[in-house]
Structure 1
């Protein structure tokens, strides 16, 4: 009796899959809520590493206070005298704007009055002259006042300067982002330097929770005052802009609409900053930089010596200098290389995750269509995320939809597996019960053997099918009856159909399944007007309905045209056929094939070969190749090929020779599987 075609024919099956799907989906949503931010960061880090930005930074220069500079001047912090010299040497070449990516909250230690105290032997006049000299801070302040200099600040919880006294050089208007970084106070430079500077910028670049810097703050708040970050202040001054218009999603600088996150930070594409745009402070102090290196450029001076604290991790490198990150940020602002996360991104990602989860559920029962759509979407989601990142500078998270949708798919697979396993166990228990009931006598096995042998044609019938075909086959059942089968069927005047198969099972169930398989296949071969592919599809469909996956059968089914020698084949998980040419050459004909019949719905490929007159086609089951000797060694295909070459002659000699060789190899032990062989020798197109 055939079952219903409806994919929802089993309430129990649906409930198992539903429960597994819901549990997996809920767990995935909870995990995504807990780890979504980090997984998103990791995904975009991978995109950064996959295609780092080609940084030209033609308008930005970096001066590093590095190991060479420390060796020349001395340990950091330097006397303001050397910083003044460095500033003068750079300013001499006409930079557009420059900045120190360092804080100067304390006065210089080299004070004239301190020097006078260190040398009490100085005369009163000399000491008075020394103490009357300007301090290094005053000197540095004068140099800063003559240069287009931006001084750094840092927001803190307890600052050393009154935040109300901190000037904001830009005109900042608009509504600040919702979770903007805010501090009640700030660390600022001493007044001699702070008041002389052209601009001021915050350098609070806190990394993400995993310690990686992926963004720089463009706008922050100190004591309620909106203040620009160092990179934005440099970009503002270099473009001669006064106004900064802020919204919860962006900062507008002139005609540039720069997207920011809820903390007021700009995400941007990282790259490798050109070494040609970086110079050591020692080289500058030594006068070894050309006059054009700094002209009309943005210059950032920062620390890079071993042991300094301005070392950060970025998506591209575990260690990088903070000043270089600031330089890349300035270049990104001026060049438009920022990244944006649209306000609709989160909702669309959750929506896509839900769609994938639902699609995974429908794919369980919906056949090829939903499964194909699901596969395409699973491939397209990360591709779309990458293209949006690389081509549109948009940060759209593929990790959340894939993790949630993938977990839902995993739940569906687990549910189907559990249901299938339970069903197989039920069928197995039923079959075992039937076997126990029926196997009380040895006659039951004999009956199964009789069923099997009665379903295959006699050898004499094969030999008489057509004078143009020398055909023979033999089947020797094992004691447990393995379910082998074969058949040879005349279809019309010139065409003969043939098949050989092996049921994956033992005993009466295998024999009965073999009988059903053979009957179905022989029936559709007689009616194969729509083609061999359609015929095998019909057999597979009926076996799936009747067996529900409990048993399956490997099979080769084919048609030989005796007028031409051409053979059409379909292989369903069976041993590859072999041919023996008239000259004695043995060849394995490897077929693409597919899974055994009765397991899954599958589109089996039709394959072709051609037999020359005198050439023989040999088909076997695994009762030959997997036969064992007393030591457990397998007969295998190598011995099979060797034996075929020794059995040249007619089809009967081939079948009997292979059987005898296998029985000799087994050394008298009981066979564990049926042995079946079929030989078809094409005699040529002419009837004698």
Structure 2
């Protein structure tokens, strides 16, 4: 591993994996505070635009009519600028329909070029008397502006004085604003206005700027998201053109009410209509889908193609709607529209009370959300598995993004959920990296432990296999020892439930006439039982070979086993000595199942009830006594452990009755074959269930004295 990799891993895992995420959280919080200086501002604006595209403002009616000086109008009436008398005719035609107000999105800053004195100066050869009788176009337009419907002229705020720039002579009566509110408003040093005579004739003037920072990031790629509702021109507050139109329609006495707090302007109200604003007096427009229904051609209006009441009770805006003259904008909805459309959108928004809201505390709320989300991730992710950590981050991001959509849907609040989720990504990534690194380290450690355990298990299994071979090697092979014996036949088998077990059997000649048979079952399983079994078998063989009586040998055996028995194990055992010449059988039972005796097609048990004792080492120093019986020719004796009778299939045990039935049914078979059949019957009964105990079986058939000796 390289030094750089070690450093990176150390940084990721520092402070239990939480130090680096805390650093990232501090950095992204700083980025959020300074978001307007980062590329994230474009991402935020794109998300706000996405809100509008998915939930545009409904346009249920058409309170605004736009009369556009379009290509058709220029074709019929000539190039722009038109004579003012033609504009007067257009205004007069609209006035006749009694609209609520007429707004002219046109600035008449210079005198009409067809004014008599201008024509006389340009064309000295013209008859002066004839020129004096010509009407003055600017005066005709001024008269038209004085019609019954209020008219509002456009005014463009300027920060760099141009020739002809001047402050407007009219402004709405706005209640006094405190200095903080005035300082927060958008400000223009001067303005480009219409001629004083036209301004005096009009009912009012209104700003048509889309913002003092038209090229600022709020309008990147030509997208207009906000417009001034109220701005300072010089030292006078002025309304925008559409708001001034509504104010004039409501009447001169309808003064705008400006709501503000210590941060600046919060809303503006005209009569019963109210719109929330930003602190600098700008409106965050909630756009509706564009349509061409409310766009009319000025040529059609001049031609009288509309009924006299068509404009009644509507706002009418006159402006440009042709390539080369119009100022086109792009809305957050993706529509490319004439700039005049903004005025219609503002009026509709005011009448419906619909505008986007992003008050000063929204940025603080986003910062708090970012910090709480980061703290949640820092606390939760290290405690979760990687897949649950991913789900938790996805859930948190979905919750934050969903909160933004819900806020916009319920109250047109602009909450920037996607940017917060993006800023939380490095925090989560560092936490997840630490989790994955920790999980990988744990996996490697587990793999090492698993390999070590496998090696240990292999070693133990090898030792157990060796122990099994040793244990099974301690057991005699009756076929090898007594295969040629004419007086009796013996078969035995032992199958441990585990690698090693506690059962044992033994068969050996004490002398040429006496055969010793032993079967035993040590309590417990596994290695302890196998060790005690080896001791028990060895001591049994040693003590019975000393020539003492069988009962005395058993008593000595118990004494020796009890003297060194730290695990307090005990042994059930059945020991017998058969006189192979006469058939007399001396036996002692130490808590063991009584052997089965098959004689002439009948089966019975040896009587161990009266002289039988407890298991060896169970009580200690028990006075075992022996019993005696005599076998008849071809008698079959079956010695077994409880691994046969207590074998189970999950619902029942094999039991003594099944053993007796199997033994009786095949008692005439070869003993080796019979032992195998009994073992197979037990395994078939278990139906694949693991063996619960060792299975041990010893069969003896006494043939009687050879015919030559009878």
* Range class of TM-score, shorter chain: 0.5 to 0.7
Partners of 2:156 and 2:176 lie apart in 1 by 21
Q: Does residue 1:224 correspond to 2:235, yes or no?
A: yes
Partners of 2:460 and 2:307 lie apart in 1 by 99
The structure-2 alpha-carbon separation of the partners of 1:342 and 1:114, relative to structure 1 and needing over 3 Å to count, comes to: closer
Quote how far apart the aligned CAs of 1:186 are.
Answer: 0.6
Query: What secondary structure does 2:323 align onto?
Result: coil
Q: Does residue 1:346 correspond to 2:363, yes or no?
A: yes
Partners of 2:296 and 2:463 lie apart in 1 by 92
Deviations 1:432-476 (A, max 9, x none): 9x89xx99xxxx99979979999xxxxxx9xxxxxxxxxxxxxxx
Deviations 1:469-506 (A, max 9, x none): xxxxxxxxxxxxxxxxxxxxxxxxxxxxxxxxxxxxxx
- Report the counterpart of residue 542 of structure 2 in structure 1: none
Q: Does residue 1:41 correspond to 2:60, yes or no?
A: no
Partners of 2:275 and 2:12 lie apart in 1 by 56
Quote how far apart the aligned CAs of 1:352 are.
Answer: 0.8
Partners of 1:12 and 1:291 lie apart in 2 by 77
- Report the counterpart of residue 183 of structure 1 in structure 2: 188
Quote how far apart the aligned CAs of 1:375 are.
Answer: 4.8
Partners of 2:13 and 2:142 lie apart in 1 by 81
Partners of 2:464 and 2:343 lie apart in 1 by 82
Q: Does residue 1:379 correspond to 2:380, yes or no?
A: no
- Report the counterpart of residue 423 of structure 2 in structure 1: 404
Query: What secondary structure does 1:338 align onto?
Result: coil
Q: Does residue 1:24 correspond to 2:41, yes or no?
A: no
| 8 A Cα contact 1:53 1:269, kept in partner | yes
Matching residue within 161, 164, 167 for 2:170: 167
| 8 A Cα contact 1:212 1:313, kept in partner | yes
Partners of 1:200 and 1:116 lie apart in 2 by 32
| 8 A Cα contact 1:47 1:386, kept in partner | yes
- Report the counterpart of residue 244 of structure 1 in structure 2: 256
- Report the counterpart of residue 96 of structure 1 in structure 2: 100
- Map 1:627-666 to 2 at 5 A: none
Deviations 1:20-79 (A, max 9, x none): 313432443344333354333211100100121221343211111112212122222222
Partners of 2:138 and 2:224 lie apart in 1 by 33
- Map 1:290-369 to 2 at 5 A: 290-367=307-384
Quote how far apart the aligned CAs of 1:359 are.
Answer: 0.8
Query: What secondary structure does 2:322 align onto?
Result: coil
- Map 1:505-524 to 2 at 5 A: none
Partners of 2:361 and 2:163 lie apart in 1 by 42
- Report the counterpart of residue 490 of structure 1 in structure 2: none
- When the two structures are aligned, how many residues end up with a matched partner? 443
| 8 A Cα contact 1:177 1:264, kept in partner | no
Partners of 1:202 and 1:127 lie apart in 2 by 40
Deviations 1:96-151 (A, max 9, x none): 101111211111112223444666655xxx42231343321121111112252100
Note the aligned Cα RMSD (angstroms): 3.7
Partners of 1:312 and 1:452 lie apart in 2 by 88
Matching residue within 141, 153, 156 for 1:154: 156
The structure-2 alpha-carbon separation of the partners of 1:135 and 1:212, relative to structure 1 and needing over 3 Å to count, comes to: same
Partners of 1:177 and 1:421 lie apart in 2 by 62
Deviations 1:624-660 (A, max 9, x none): xxxxxxxxxxxxxxxxxxxxxxxxxxxxxxxxxxxxx
Query: What secondary structure does 1:40 align onto?
Result: helix
Higher CA-based Rg: 2
Deviates more, 1:19-28 or 1:233-242: 19-28
Partners of 1:408 and 1:140 lie apart in 2 by 66
Partners of 2:462 and 2:141 lie apart in 1 by 110
| 8 A Cα contact 1:101 1:300, kept in partner | yes
- Report the counterpart of residue 409 of structure 2 in structure 1: 390
Partners of 1:279 and 1:184 lie apart in 2 by 35
- Report the counterpart of residue 622 of structure 2 in structure 1: none
Q: Does residue 1:415 correspond to 2:434, yes or no?
A: yes
Segments of structure 1 that go 5 or more residues without pairing to the other structure are: 1-9, 455-460, 462-560, 564-679, 681-688
Query: What secondary structure does 2:284 align onto?
Result: strand
- Map 1:187-586 to 2 at 5 A: 187-206=192-211, 207=214, 208-210=218-220, 211-240=222-251, 241-246=253-258, 247=260, 248-367=265-384, 375-421=394-440
Query: What secondary structure does 2:184 align onto?
Result: coil
Quote how far apart the aligned CAs of 1:421 are.
Answer: 4.2
Matching residue within 73, 80, 86 for 2:77: 73
The structure-2 alpha-carbon separation of the partners of 1:453 and 1:213, relative to structure 1 and needing over 3 Å to count, comes to: farther
Deviations 1:158-195 (A, max 9, x none): 15557455221333433436532111111000112111
- Report the counterpart of residue 115 of structure 2 in structure 1: 111
| 8 A Cα contact 2:12 2:430, kept in partner | no
Quote how far apart the aligned CAs of 1:155 are.
Answer: 0.8
Quote how far apart the aligned CAs of 1:264 are.
Answer: 0.9
Quote how far apart the aligned CAs of 1:431 are.
Answer: 8.9
| 8 A Cα contact 1:363 1:374, kept in partner | no
Q: Does residue 1:87 correspond to 2:91, yes or no?
A: yes
| 8 A Cα contact 1:56 1:274, kept in partner | no
| 8 A Cα contact 1:56 1:273, kept in partner | no
The structure-2 alpha-carbon separation of the partners of 1:445 and 1:359, relative to structure 1 and needing over 3 Å to count, comes to: closer
Query: What secondary structure does 1:107 align onto?
Result: coil
Query: What secondary structure does 1:171 align onto?
Result: coil
Deviations 1:412-439 (A, max 9, x none): 112323444455567778999x89xx99
Partners of 1:424 and 1:74 lie apart in 2 by 84
Partners of 1:451 and 1:144 lie apart in 2 by 114
- Report the counterpart of residue 137 of structure 1 in structure 2: 138
Quote how far apart the aligned CAs of 1:327 are.
Answer: 0.3
Deviates more, 1:353-362 or 1:312-321: 312-321
Query: What secondary structure does 1:365 align onto?
Result: helix
Quote how far apart the aligned CAs of 1:153 are.
Answer: 0.4
The structure-2 alpha-carbon separation of the partners of 1:452 and 1:11, relative to structure 1 and needing over 3 Å to count, comes to: farther
